Amino acid sequence: MLTRPQAQARHFADELIAQGVQPNQIIIDPIMKIAPVEAPCDISACKGLIITSANALSYLPVALRGSRLPCYCVGESTSQAARALGLDAYHLADTARALCDALPTACQEGPLLHLRGTHTTLDMAEHFPTSPLPVENLVVYEQIALPLQAETHETLRRSSPVILPIFSARSAKLLGKLALDWQPHWAVALSPAIAALCHEAGFGQITTATQPNRQAMVAVITPLVDVKGG
Nearest residue to 8 (alpha-carbon basis) of 166, 205, 222, 216: 166
Q: For the sheet containing 186-189, what is the strand order?
A: 163-166, 186-189, 205-208
Q: Tell me, yes or no, if the two domains 6-31+147-229 and 37-143 fold the same way.
A: yes
Domain locations in the chain?
Answer: 6-31+147-229, 37-143
Average pLDDT, the chain: 90
Q: For the sheet containing 135-145, what is the strand order?
A: 32-36, 135-145, 112-117, 48-51, 70-74, 88-93
pTM, full prediction: 0.85
Phi, psi (5° rounding) for residue 163?
-95, 125
pLDDT digits (tens, 9 = 90+) for 39-49: 777 778 888 99
Which amino acid is located at 40 in the chain?
P
pLDDT digits (tens, 9 = 90+) for 161-195: 999 999 999 999 999 999 999 999 999 999 999 99
| CA–CA separation, 11 and 26 (whole Å) | 12
Handedness of CA 191, 21, 152, 148 (dihedral sign): positive
- Paired with 35 in beta bridges are 142
Q: Which fold has domain 6-31+147-229?
A: Rossmann fold (3.40.50)
Q: 37-143 maps to which CATH number?
A: 3.40.50.10090
